[in-house]
């Protein structure tokens, strides 16, 4: 194992940005930068041992700053959407930024993805830990929040992301990583095979806010209980797919015990043989198939950043949970500890 750190540029406010790279003995490599605690590279072998980077992003810091698409970012304080940007906590009403079709998305105007995090290397654990203190009232969220995100790489090609946070006032919190995966390292993801360990999902209204219903996936294009080609039903005349322009929904994960680390999803790509398993402690996972991605600037090595170029598996509390009493609570109180673990396990299939 090795961990390297390099300065790759400066932000407009003059703060330096570091890239930290971990390589295991098998050659798998991950890299993250302290701007947004962002995962910027995941290099894994195919069935023949050929390495490729399987996450979308840019070749330079400027494009991450100027063309933000949350590529690999740590998203918070609240990942996903909150209806009308409002919620009530302990009898107090809060109005957050409205930055997505009349709703609040991914922490607001200047969320955690746009913050400079402090970086610390742990050679013993083959890990990089990013720390950020969000002051009381930032983006109008209550409470001073101390949080850290740790990326670690195992010898079995497993990327572990651990989130930890505490607060001095009651608040809401929902952190996730927003990496865009393409296991082929090129083209689109329509031929990727996907399974999601969930028999239910949360349908949305026309503004992609959950209605509050928890609906069975059986008999719908949302049924990924068994491996299914992502593109097979993408164009189905289905209300939910039409709303999202494809898949952009939250699945209710099958859990024997709340908070257990368990299988959430599996993806296989047969041309290269690469596969990915996602395990998480969270109650939900958002599948997004980059339905509206269409950037004029290219990604790494000139890769077009266009529709269906990648998929996201955002492990999370449910969207709009603060306004849905029947959803798992995303409230964090003083004295409690927010801890979330997500593991992306990479391998190959024949």
Least Cα distance to 129 among 150, 152, 159 occurs for 150
CA distance 313 to 346: 14
Q: Of 104, 106, 178, 192, which is the active-site residue?
A: 178
Tell me the torsion sign for CA atoms 31, 34, 35, 36: positive
151 alpha carbon, distance to own chain's centre: 13
What is the 3-state secondary structure of the chain?
CEEEEEEEEECCCCCEEEEEEEECCCCCEEEEECECCEEEEEEEECCCCCEEECECCCCCHHHHHHCCCCCCCEECCECCEEHHHEEEECCEEEECCCCECCEEECCCCCCHHHCECEEEEECCCCEEEEEEEECCCHHHCCCCEEEEEEEEECCCCEEEEEEEEEECCCEECECEECCCECCCCCCCCCCCEEEECCCEEECECCCCCECCCCEECCCCCCCCCCCEECCCCCCCCCHHHHHHCCCEEEEECCCCCCCCCEEEEEEECCCCCEEEEEEECCCEEEEECCCCCCCCCCCHHHCCCCCCCCEEEEEECCCCHHHCCCCCCCEECCCCCEEEEEEEEEEECC
Residue 186 CB-half CA count within 13 A: 6
Edge-to-edge strands, sheet with 248-252: 215-216, 200-202, 248-252, 284-288, 312-316
Is 314 marked active-site? yes
Q: Of 18, 139, 277, 314, which is the active-site residue?
A: 314
Active site residues: 178, 314
């Amino acid at each position: 194992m090795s961990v390297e750190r390099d300065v790759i540029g400066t932000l407009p406010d003059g703060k330096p940005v570091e890239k930290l790279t971990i390589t295991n003995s098998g050659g798998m490599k991950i890299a993250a930068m302290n701007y947004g605690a962002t995962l910027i590279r995941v290099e894994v072998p195919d069935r023949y041992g050929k390495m490729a980077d399987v996450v979308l992003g840019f070749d330079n810091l400027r494009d991450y700053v100027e063309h933000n698409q949350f590529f690999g970012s740590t998203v918070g304080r609240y990942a996903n959407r909150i209806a009308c940007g409002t919620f009530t906590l302990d009898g107090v009403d809060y109005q957050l930024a409205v930055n997505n079709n009349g709703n609040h998305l991914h922490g607001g105007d200047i969320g955690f993805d746009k913050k400079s995090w402090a970086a610390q290397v742990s050679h013993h654990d083959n890990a990089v830990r990013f720390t950020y203190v969000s002051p009381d009232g930032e983006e109008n969220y209550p409470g001073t929040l101390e949080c850290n995100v740790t990326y670690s790489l195992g010898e079995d090609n497993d990327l572990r992301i651990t989130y930890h946070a505490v607060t001095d006032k009651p608040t809401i919190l929902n952190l996730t990583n927003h990496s865009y995966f393409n296991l082929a390292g090129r083209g689109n993801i329509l031929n990727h095979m996907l399974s999601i360990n969930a028999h239910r999902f949360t349908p949305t209204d026309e503004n992609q806010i959950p209605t509050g219903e928890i609906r069975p996936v059986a008999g719908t294009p949302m049924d990924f209980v068994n491996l299914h080609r992502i593109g097979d039903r993408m164009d189905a005349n289905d209300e939910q797919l039409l709303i999202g322009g494809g898949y952009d929904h939250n699945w209710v994960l099958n859990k024997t015990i709340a908070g257990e680390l368990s299988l959430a999803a599996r993806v296989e790509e047969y041309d290269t043989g690469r596969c990915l398993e996602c395990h998480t402690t969270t109650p939900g996972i958002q599948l997004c198939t980059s339905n509206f991605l269409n950037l004029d600037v290219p990604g790494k090595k000139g890769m077009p950043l266009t529709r269906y170029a990648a998929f996201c598996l955002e492990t999370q509390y449910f969207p709009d949970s603060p306004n849905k009493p029947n959803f798992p609570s995303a409230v964090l109180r003083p004295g409690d500890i927010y801890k979330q673990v997500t593991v992306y396990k990479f391998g190959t299939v024949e």
